[in-house]
Structure 1
Amino acid sequence: MRNILCLLLCLFALTAVAQKQKNLALTPPMGWNSWNKFACDVDEKLIRETADAMVASGMRDAGYQYIVIDDCWHGERDSLGFIHPDPKRFPSGMKALADYVHAKGLKFGIYSDAGWKTCGGRPGSRGREFQDAQTYASWGVDYLKYDWCNTEGLKAEGAYMTMRDALAASGRPIVLSICEWGDNQPWEWAQDVGHLWRTTGDIYNCWDCVYDHGTWKSWGVMQILDKQDGLRKYAGPGHWNDPDMMEVGNGMRTNEDRAHFAMWSMLAAPLIAGNDLRNMSRETREILTNKEVIAINQDSLGIQGFKYSDQDSLEVWFKPLANGDWAMCVLNRKSTPQQLSFDWSKHAVTDTIFNRQLETSQTRYKLRDVWAKKASGTTAKTLKAEVPAHDVLMLRLSSSKPAKKAAKS
């Protein structure tokens, strides 16, 4: 019976008009993924405890939704080709686990691969896309991270379109996270295929380094940040650039974690935590649950921020927000503190791609430091501050009243 159902779904998909599932990920997805901290060491106890921790820590109330199991959950396929979870690691089954996550007011995510095998050597979805999508839907899956290992002979766009159509045919709304590492320029074709797409290879928990694995590389936070240049025009509600999951809480210094989280928020990037939520320091929890920073990431305009200036590794970034607000982030990439002096009267900040302009000559903006959570003056005066090493100054600008015109000489 299940085989017949799968065949009918495949026939339906071939005759249906192919399109991405709509009204999903209208703001960057927020959640947690197992890979960065646990890699293949996953089981149902970890996932249940992580769901509990997401609630207890305040992360759910801050906006985090998805609990995503990455690679290595797989067992074998049965005689009809249906995938099953590893019975030792997930003895209760995925449906029971999804029900547990849903009962916490959260959503459930899973991982597969477009190739014959996943990156961890488990069964991939190649040739079984519609069957797997139907299985995921029956389990209650809400999010699919779809990887790109062991894909010899496949074209990325076509492979991801196949899974897109399979998810649509499943009858369940499922976010599709494209993970082919930016190798095939997904920003140019993925807007109508997935809801987010990786722009780089894997992230690594260091400030500015490259970790060479021999046949591939992982990239530090600053390395990943630099690879986003030129991509902002492709992002928006329902289709996001994804600079990979976060390393906040995985070994960097608190100031570096804060800068990492701030820049991912400025990028309108998915905020997918990758640490052990069960054992967070107070500092890590406060970074991940800062609602004022999250509000900048989740802004309804969905516009990715841009680098306005860069002088001696002191970068000034801006991000247009709804209702005429703006976010400003000053990033100090150096290992020593730097002094900032920003005279608003001498800077015309224009977003030429999305046709937005910060009119400080016409309007006075109130400044709010979103990390200190306090007012920080207005644009009537030059902004002066010391930005600590490997850290940020992050402000929200809200219009207050028209600026006074300069007196005639």
Structure 2
Amino acid sequence: MNRHTFLQRTVSGAFASLIPGEKRLAQKPAPKPASLLAQTPPLGWNSYNSYGVYLHEKAAFENLEAFEKLLKPHGYEYFVIDGGWAGEYALIPGTLYPKEKHASVLAMDKNGLLEPGKTYWPNGLKPLINQVHAKGLKFGIHLMRGIPRAAVDQNLPIAGSRYRLADIVDKSSICKWYPNTYGVDVRKPGAQDYYNSVFRKLAQWGVDLVKVDDLIPFPDEILMIGEAIRNCGRPMLYSLSPGNTTNLRDLPYYRQAQMVRITYDIWDRVEDFKTAFNRWRLFQGLGTPGFWPDLDMIPFGQLQLMQPAEYEGSGREVRMSGFGNARTSFLSKTEMQTFITIRALAASPLMMGGDLPTLDDYSLALITNADMLACNQNGNTGVLVYDKNQTEVWLTNQKSRFGAGWFGIFNRSDQGQLVKLSVKELGLAHLPNVGTAKTTYKLHDIWNNATLPIQEGSIEVSIPANGVVFCRYEGARSA
């Protein structure tokens, strides 16, 4: 039994006693049917880092064209628009910039199901969805848990049901950071009918992925939405968000989905590295085909394009969605290497968040690096094998080849370090004849594209502050 298998069995068998959860349901969820979706960590683009909840039609088509050129050749396939697509925003006159953080008016049909807002989607979403599919890609969309408040106020009928929205609403269940929805009372007749109607409509549109927000603390609604997706008539990848309250006790509920966020919103801040490492440590070894712990999007390139600094105080007096103003990612090249290495070794879904038409060459080279993608798509969520003196080593084995894989040596300090580690401290003790003259090792330093020498069973590397040495390793018996 390898280290990954042992850790999975140990943690999965003991999770109920380890971490307190937000809720405990009376019934254990039924196993999710075997699915061909997300057999490896999903790869794609999500509009949130670059456009917040204000993606508009022109920018979407421009990013789609760049996606096809830049990312599709490397296996990226999901083109995802984040929240706000149903909003009828009040705009700063003469611009597409919003005056309000969240639209006070949502576009809906006669059953209270969301429609694309005319402000940013004058032609609706169907032309974009058709173009995504014509390019051989998959389309994803963001959805909030629950029911639009305006639909409840009008007590609209639930499509395909004799119930109405006021019959199933839970007005005490309100998202803390989004004001326009109420939760669903899953105990009420008609609740499942409502979610069924939501996902039938998305299936008719041609949606391939749905990211459901404000859902992690509500296991009962996770199950209900999972049931609706399984019966919507279209394969649809299910992504849970946000992840700041994820815990191991509710893991069976999360496994109803293919992706589960395990962090809060991650941005181009070095302080967010701590969150990524801590949450990775909690979920290490738990990724499997069809289920991937998600460390959030990749904030490289141009970000927050709908929040230019010059519009502060110009008829828009509220802080917009997201973090900061329009900018190039604050991360240095060293920090970007660390960021993407974490995602590779953790087998996290890779969702690029920066603007694609303006993407710089260095960011593109990192997110399309063949060695990085091979590590990520190997699909083993790496495990911690060394933690001392602010140095951590994380290791993932290659599934298809014994004695091969990848490791990262992370400098967790704000100072450069000279680090010396033995092959045992690197986690390579499982290779044949370790510590004898009959074992040879090949270490390839991925970011420097160089061979890393081993001398007397150890390596010595200089790692800058918040930096990493990311290696491909191979071990074999010498003749």
- TM tier relative to shorter chain: 0.7 to 0.9
* Cα offset, 1:261, TM superposition: 0.3
> Equivalent residues in 2 for 1:35-184 (5 A)?
35-57=48-70, 59-74=71-86, 75-117=106-148, 120-121=178-179, 126=184, 127=191, 128-148=194-214, 156-183=218-245
SS at match of 1:46: helix
- Separation in 2, partners of 1:308, 1:403: 26
Q: Residue 367 of structure 1 corresponds to which residue in structure 2?
A: 443
- Separation in 2, partners of 1:341, 1:51: 45
The one-character-per-residue Cα deviations of 1:68-90 (angstroms, maximum 9, x if unpaired) are: 11110014222233321112211
Equivalent in 26, 34, 42 of residue 39 of structure 2: 26
**Native 8 Å contact 1:37 1:275 kept in 2:** yes
Higher mean C-alpha deviation, range 109-118 or range 185-194: 185-194
1:340 equivalent to 2:419? Answer yes
> Equivalent residues in 2 for 1:205-216 (5 A)?
205-208=268-271
- Cα distance, 1:264–1:313 mapped onto 2, change above 3 Å: same
* Cα offset, 1:388, TM superposition: 1.9
> Equivalent residues in 2 for 1:289-300 (5 A)?
289-299=368-378
> Equivalent residues in 2 for 1:272-291 (5 A)?
272-291=351-370
Q: Residue 242 of structure 1 corresponds to which residue in structure 2?
A: 294
Once the two structures are aligned, what percentage of the paired residues are identical?
26
Q: Residue 284 of structure 2 corresponds to which residue in structure 1?
A: 232
- Separation in 1, partners of 2:454, 2:144: 50
**Native 8 Å contact 2:385 2:425 kept in 1:** no
- Cα distance, 1:124–1:369 mapped onto 2, change above 3 Å: farther
The TM-score with structure 1 as length reference comes to: 0.81
Higher mean C-alpha deviation, range 358-367 or range 220-229: 358-367
- Separation in 1, partners of 2:200, 2:31: 16
**Native 8 Å contact 1:204 1:221 kept in 2:** no
- Cα distance, 1:121–1:67 mapped onto 2, change above 3 Å: farther
- Cα distance, 1:331–1:178 mapped onto 2, change above 3 Å: same
- Cα distance, 1:228–1:18 mapped onto 2, change above 3 Å: closer
- Separation in 2, partners of 1:292, 1:184: 30
- Cα distance, 1:45–1:391 mapped onto 2, change above 3 Å: same
* Cα offset, 1:180, TM superposition: 4.1
**Native 8 Å contact 2:287 2:380 kept in 1:** yes
* Cα offset, 1:116, TM superposition: 3.1
**Native 8 Å contact 2:142 2:210 kept in 1:** yes
The TM-score with structure 2 as length reference comes to: 0.70
* Cα offset, 1:112, TM superposition: 0.6
Q: Residue 267 of structure 1 corresponds to which residue in structure 2?
A: 346
The one-character-per-residue Cα deviations of 1:222-260 (angstroms, maximum 9, x if unpaired) are: 222222223224321111111222223332111111100
1:321 equivalent to 2:334? Answer no
**Native 8 Å contact 2:31 2:256 kept in 1:** no
Q: Residue 386 of structure 2 corresponds to which residue in structure 1?
A: 309
* Cα offset, 1:121, TM superposition: 4.4
- Cα distance, 1:98–1:120 mapped onto 2, change above 3 Å: farther
**Native 8 Å contact 1:157 1:189 kept in 2:** no
SS at match of 1:236: coil
Q: Which runs of 5+ in 2 are unaligned?
A: 1-29, 87-105, 149-174, 185-190, 302-328
Q: Size of the alignment, in residue pairs?
A: 363
**Native 8 Å contact 2:418 2:460 kept in 1:** yes
- Cα distance, 1:48–1:365 mapped onto 2, change above 3 Å: same
**Native 8 Å contact 1:188 1:234 kept in 2:** no
**Native 8 Å contact 2:241 2:260 kept in 1:** yes
- Cα distance, 1:120–1:277 mapped onto 2, change above 3 Å: farther
* Cα offset, 1:115, TM superposition: 2.6
**Native 8 Å contact 1:30 1:271 kept in 2:** yes
Q: For residue 313 of structure 1, what is the amino acid of its counterpart?
A: Q
SS at match of 1:105: coil
**Native 8 Å contact 2:263 2:275 kept in 1:** no
- Separation in 1, partners of 2:59, 2:263: 28
- Separation in 1, partners of 2:407, 2:385: 10
* Cα offset, 1:124, TM superposition: 7.3
Q: Residue 256 of structure 2 corresponds to which residue in structure 1?
A: 193
SS at match of 2:414: coil
**Native 8 Å contact 2:386 2:425 kept in 1:** no
Q: What is the CA RMSD across the aligned residues, in angstroms?
A: 2.5
**Native 8 Å contact 1:364 1:380 kept in 2:** no
**Native 8 Å contact 2:441 2:473 kept in 1:** yes
- Separation in 2, partners of 1:382, 1:388: 19
* Cα offset, 1:21, TM superposition: 6.5
**Native 8 Å contact 1:231 1:241 kept in 2:** yes
- Separation in 2, partners of 1:342, 1:260: 22
1:357 equivalent to 2:420? Answer no
- Separation in 2, partners of 1:18, 1:304: 21
Q: Residue 222 of structure 1 corresponds to which residue in structure 2?
A: 274
- Separation in 2, partners of 1:247, 1:348: 29
- Cα distance, 1:298–1:207 mapped onto 2, change above 3 Å: same
